Structure 1
Amino acid sequence: MEHTVTTLPAAREPGCPFDPPRELIQAREHGPISRYPFPDGHQGWLVTGYDLVRSVLADSRFSSRKELMRHHPTIDMGDIEVPPAAPGEFLLMDEPQHGRYRKPLVGRFTVRRMRLLTERVEQITAEHLDAMEEAGPPTDLVTAFAKPIPSIVICELLGVPYRDRGSFQENIDKFLGGEVGDEELIAAYTATQHYLAELVAAKRANPTDDVLSDLLDSDLTDEELRGIALILLAAGFDTTANMLALGTFALLSNPAQLTALRADPTLTDKAVEELLRYLSVAKTFMRTTLEDVELGGHTIKAGTTVILSYNTANRDPDRFTDPHTLDLARQDGGHLAFGHGIHQCLGQQLARVEMRVALPALLNRLPTLRLAVPAEEVGLRPETADIYGVKSLPVTWDV
């Protein structure tokens, strides 16, 4: 029988901050694909199964183009015309435009190049742990640790001068964090766009050792470089910051797994992959069909909007054994936390390096680290936020 999900975003169950909303889990139990009526009356689909989500991500008949995303899961957009993605913002494009922007970047985010950053990430992490110890407990792990580390790394990769980083980081936090009102968000986004335009112009005049300067010899315009910089910010800051904070929360809430990780450093790589699967902070993405497509026994008509639920796909019992359990020694890997296909996250290796360095360093430096408030009092981001996580994570430790 065909299943329909009627309300998104569904709320998470009280006391279950790491699990997908129950409505989405129940939808997956009915099958890997459900109907979803959008607020404007458009009849779309919600894909919750691992295999189907992966197949959509690899299928060029499902488009990422921004101007085709005419329907919003929670807002009746009426007759609003959605403009195409700005130059350089390749996440919201299909081939060949997508490849033109992404290909020059691929060589700059390889596993080898990101591993060369490990020493610098270790240094940044140690500096923030030193500052935490000097200030003493309690502290908010989000502001003291989880946000600064990826923020500093992405600033250095883009070549943001040290003197500008304070205001720059504040603005990107506002427009990516989902915790401010519309007016403040627009102001922060506009300020970030203005700054990136100035930054690109500065690189043209005086190239330095950074990703933007590396791209100056290409045929990319300044406007395109600004768009690329914005995508790198989105991929390289907010997602990793939330994985560090929410990942720590998950470990502190699973003491047996935390003890195992502290006892066996060789578990680190597997632990990072399991946290990525278990938490899936980038929860959903959308695609629009360019033609009629058969999917999961249904005909998806051309022009239909399809919502892909990463967090239920990564909890699919047909793909993962005991999927709702955090198991740092898990053998069945292959999660979709970074997506799949041509749009698979460009910065995934950087995120892995930051998590592999920062989480063990935190847990080893502060062996008595624990929550400073009851778990149910930890403030969670709303489901309407693009990236899931915690607003703050009060922690303490013995001194």
Structure 2
Amino acid sequence: MTEVVAWPQDRTCPYDPAEGYRSLRENRPLGRIRLYDGREAWLVTGHAVGRRLLNDPRISSDQQHPNFPFPAPRFAGSQEFRTPLLGVDGADHKVHRRGLIPSFSYKRVSSLRPHIQETVDGCVDRMLEKGPPADITEDLAVAVSSQTVCSLLGVPYDENEFFKDRVYRVLRSSSNEEAQDASIQLQKYLGELFDRKEAEKTTGDLLSDLLEDQARNNTIPRHELIGIVVLLLLAGYDTTASMISLSTFTLLQHPEQLAQLRADPSLMPTAVEELLRFQSVAEGVLRVATGDIEIGAQTIRADDPVVFSNSLMNRDGEMYPSPDELSWSRSARHHFAFGHGIHQCVGQNLARAEIEISLRTLFERIPDIRLALPADEVPMPPADTVQGPVELLVTW
């Protein structure tokens, strides 16, 4: 066992695990961490053990469990509510997920690629017309992810600023009260939007599909439908946007790998998988044990909080030789960027398409793009939220 390490910790390098996790990396597959409120928890750092445990029914996503591990005070209020999809297990989770799968299938996402391409082209057009410097985070990453998720859900894009502000406050506010207030505002708006769509009998978007499924099967209460859409908005805006922005930064810091992509654009899907592994923008998968689980000579006891470190599992040298190197020659399959098991991200096909199209288009159309300030001056968010540049100024 290692000493108990504080978690989460800020990264020194935007795409590498925090330096304070070094002892945890050296003593896989389990370590001990201390959460912000002083409680201790298990940290899963080994790739094989992570896959095993995320498939174990004794590892629960129930956020209402009194020992559930939260990374910051603003999330603690989630225990007061039953969070659909993300915070439930078993039959309830299956019901929530079933209605989403058709909207995020490979076929459906493929049909959205022309729209994503048009959105990305429009963002790059505006960047070129305005001239340098441009902020990749705001001008490309957030714009692409927000327009795409609004189009998929059937949310009017002219109210995008409202969503961006509330999503930001849910994910990055300093207090539980502010985060909860923003979440309530999102739920209120979506409830009214559901009512309008139901009255107008709209079709062709995810919100309309969920309403149709509810009317046909009557399996998901309206408030849970709203909760599911809030989660999709949060994931669609922030996680994918962070991946696009941080991937741009990472490629600009790895000119040899970027040159390989420019010489052979067919490598881009492989590169996206490797970037997902290498960067781990979402650091922790949060769970709680409901029964005793033996891991070698150690035992995770029932009611123990358990955190899965994506950045450490994705840098496990037993799974990925030379894990701290960015390489297009490896197969990065089975990374944890989208989780694993029954709670694996339902929107991963869409995220991959947005990242791939954004990066390919950006580097094709602005071949001499470069950072507009030193790399160590790029502002990054604190460790308790999704990792990606707060602002990424580039020039050409």
Counterpart-to-counterpart distance in 1, 2:246 and 2:193: 32
Counterpart-to-counterpart distance in 2, 1:6 and 1:43: 9
1:54 to 36, 43, 51: 51
* SS across alignment from 1:233: helix
- 2:121 corresponding residue in structure 1: 126
- 1:226 corresponding residue in structure 2: 226
- 2:206 corresponding residue in structure 1: 211
* SS across alignment from 2:90: coil
Would you say the 8 A contact 1:129–1:362 is kept in 2?
Answer: yes
Q: Does 1:319 align with 2:319?
A: yes
**One-letter amino acid of the counterpart of residue 244, structure 1:** I
Would you say the 8 A contact 1:276–1:337 is kept in 2?
Answer: yes
* SS across alignment from 1:145: helix
Counterpart-to-counterpart distance in 2, 1:75 and 1:117: 35
Per the TM alignment, residue 180 of structure 1 is displaced from its structure 2 partner at its CA by 6.1
- 1:252 corresponding residue in structure 2: 252
Question: Please, which runs of 5 or more residues in structure 1 have no aligned partner?
Answer: none
- 1:277 corresponding residue in structure 2: 277
**One-letter amino acid of the counterpart of residue 59, structure 1:** D
* SS across alignment from 1:395: strand
Would you say the 8 A contact 1:5–1:27 is kept in 2?
Answer: no
Per the TM alignment, residue 35 of structure 1 is displaced from its structure 2 partner at its CA by 2.3
* SS across alignment from 1:82: helix
Counterpart-to-counterpart distance in 1, 2:365 and 2:246: 18
Would you say the 8 A contact 2:42–2:307 is kept in 1?
Answer: yes
- 1:136 corresponding residue in structure 2: 131
**One-letter amino acid of the counterpart of residue 197, structure 1:** G
* SS across alignment from 1:388: coil
Counterpart-to-counterpart distance in 2, 1:351 and 1:155: 14
- 1:66 corresponding residue in structure 2: 63
2:29 to 27, 32, 51: 32
Give per-residue Cα distances to partners, 1:353-396, cap 9 Å, x unaligned.
111111000000000000000000000111122x1111100100
* SS across alignment from 1:147: helix
Would you say the 8 A contact 2:5–2:20 is kept in 1?
Answer: no
**One-letter amino acid of the counterpart of residue 62, structure 1:** I
Range 190-199 or range 40-49, more displaced: 40-49
* SS across alignment from 2:42: strand
Range 108-117 or range 313-322, more displaced: 108-117
Would you say the 8 A contact 2:14–2:387 is kept in 1?
Answer: no
- 1:349 corresponding residue in structure 2: 349
Counterpart-to-counterpart distance in 2, 1:80 and 1:118: 37
Would you say the 8 A contact 2:69–2:286 is kept in 1?
Answer: no
Would you say the 8 A contact 2:285–2:339 is kept in 1?
Answer: no
Counterpart-to-counterpart distance in 2, 1:134 and 1:174: 31
- 1:189 corresponding residue in structure 2: 183
- 1:113 corresponding residue in structure 2: 108
Q: Percent of aligned pairs with the same residue?
A: 39
- 2:265 corresponding residue in structure 1: 265
- 1:104 corresponding residue in structure 2: 99
1:308-387 aligned within 5 A: 308-385=308-385, 387=386
The change in CA–CA distance for 1:24 and 1:296 in structure 2 (over 3 A counts) is farther
- 1:158 corresponding residue in structure 2: 153
- 1:85 corresponding residue in structure 2: 82
Range 240-249 or range 63-72, more displaced: 63-72
The change in CA–CA distance for 1:30 and 1:152 in structure 2 (over 3 A counts) is same
- 2:4 corresponding residue in structure 1: 5
The change in CA–CA distance for 1:22 and 1:388 in structure 2 (over 3 A counts) is same
Give per-residue Cα distances to partners, 1:148-202, cap 9 Å, x unaligned.
10101111111112332332333223323x1666565444323212111111111
Counterpart-to-counterpart distance in 1, 2:181 and 2:259: 44
The change in CA–CA distance for 1:184 and 1:137 in structure 2 (over 3 A counts) is farther
The change in CA–CA distance for 1:84 and 1:96 in structure 2 (over 3 A counts) is farther
**One-letter amino acid of the counterpart of residue 312, structure 1:** L
* SS across alignment from 2:103: coil
* SS across alignment from 1:261: helix
User: Alpha carbon RMSD of aligned pairs, Å?
Assistant: 2.1
Q: What is the number of residues matched between the two proteins?
A: 389
* SS across alignment from 1:277: helix
Q: TM-score, normalised by structure 1?
A: 0.92
